[in-house]
Amino acid sequence: MTATSATSAPARGAVRASASGGVSPARRRWRLPFSPWHLVLVPATLVLIFPFVWLLVTSVETPSEALHFPPVLVPHTLRFANYPDALNSAPFGRFFLNSAVVAVATVLSNLVLCSLAGYAFARFRFLGRGALFAVIMATLMVPFQVTMIPQFIITKWLGVHVLAAVGIDHIGALILPNAATAFGIFFLRQFFRTLPLEYEESARVDGASRLTILVRIVLPLATPALATLAALTFLDSWNNFLWPLIAITSTNQMTLPLGLATFQGAHSTEWPLLMAGNVMSLVPMLVIFFVAQRYFVRSVAATGLAGT
């Protein structure tokens, strides 16, 4: 009886093995190399890309095709002359220069000031640090529509009593209010908290000052966070429309978003020229995004590791 049971167990195992190994490939379950939920991204991507495709198509259409209903998605002739016409119909060179100056100056000032403030909140212990940080974070919940009138009054006072270059109707009025942001302070503060203290303590033992530690040790380690903040700040400054609309009145001080609004009149709009100008204004943003995209995930993932 014992011998029979001992020999039957391997036999049953061999039968199960042969049964499992003998399943035909046609009966095996077909599996995707990725999660089926990723298939939802395909229609979502098409929905998101469609406005940009329509933008490109309209930029090379004739005015009659641009106003046709239903919309013409395949133009009969590609009118690339809309791009030089858009450049000639408005001082686009001046608009590009003003936008570049404002964006670059805003990025540099944010990197410097937000790095100093973020490092102070991450490493220094002083009276009222938590309360001051909470007040700065609370400003993120205040919409710009609430603060734009006080900001306009302060900017006008600074231009009259301190320096005319930062007053109303000067591009300095677009730089100074955005020289440091609460988001930039919070973002860099969170990233600095993820860095190990051993490097800074070793430098302090060697006699390095706090500013030297920040410049030579902390900031090189925070390159992903700085690149991400620079890209986000550049995109926000490049696309800013409401504050330039309030602070700028002369054409030679307009930025690109404000200059594009000149194509829209009270009775008619040059849609092909407007779309051509929008396409040209998107090029710097796309370049900045593709250059800095590899830093986004690294910096955001590392920033989320530290608690508040």
DSSP 9-49: HHHHHHHHHHHHHT--GGGSPP--SS-GGGGGHHHHHHHHH
Burial classification of residue 76, based on how many CB atoms lie within 10 Å of its CB (0-12 exposed, 13-18 middle, 19 or more buried): exposed
3-state secondary structure of 269: strand
DSSP letter, residue 162: T
Residue ranges, comma separated, of all CATH 1.10.3720.10 domains in the chain are 91-303
C-alpha of 210 from chain center: 30
Q: Which residues contact 101 (CB under 8 A, 6 or more apart)?
A: 171
Give the global pTM.
Answer: 0.80
Helix (H) or strand (E) holding 295: helix 271-303
Instruction: Using alpha carbons only, give the angle 231, 129, 185 rounded to the nearest 5 degrees.
Output: 5
Dihedral angle, C-alpha 300, 303, 307, 308, nearest 10 °: -90
Measured distance CA(240)–CA(200) in Å, rounded: 38
Per residue of the chain (308 residues), what is the pLDDT tens digit?
A: 444 444 454 445 444 444 445 545 555 556 767 777 777 888 888 888 998 899 999 999 988 888 888 888 888 888 899 999 888 888 888 999 999 999 999 999 999 999 999 999 999 999 999 999 999 999 999 999 999 999 999 999 999 999 999 999 999 999 999 999 999 999 999 999 988 889 899 999 988 899 999 999 999 999 889 998 999 999 999 999 999 999 999 989 999 999 888 777 655 778 888 899 999 999 888 888 888 777 766 666 655 444 44
Distance separating the N- and C-terminal Cα atoms of the chain: 70
- Backbone φ, ψ for residue 20 (5° rounding): -70, -35
CATH topology of domain 91-303: MetI-like fold (1.10.3720)
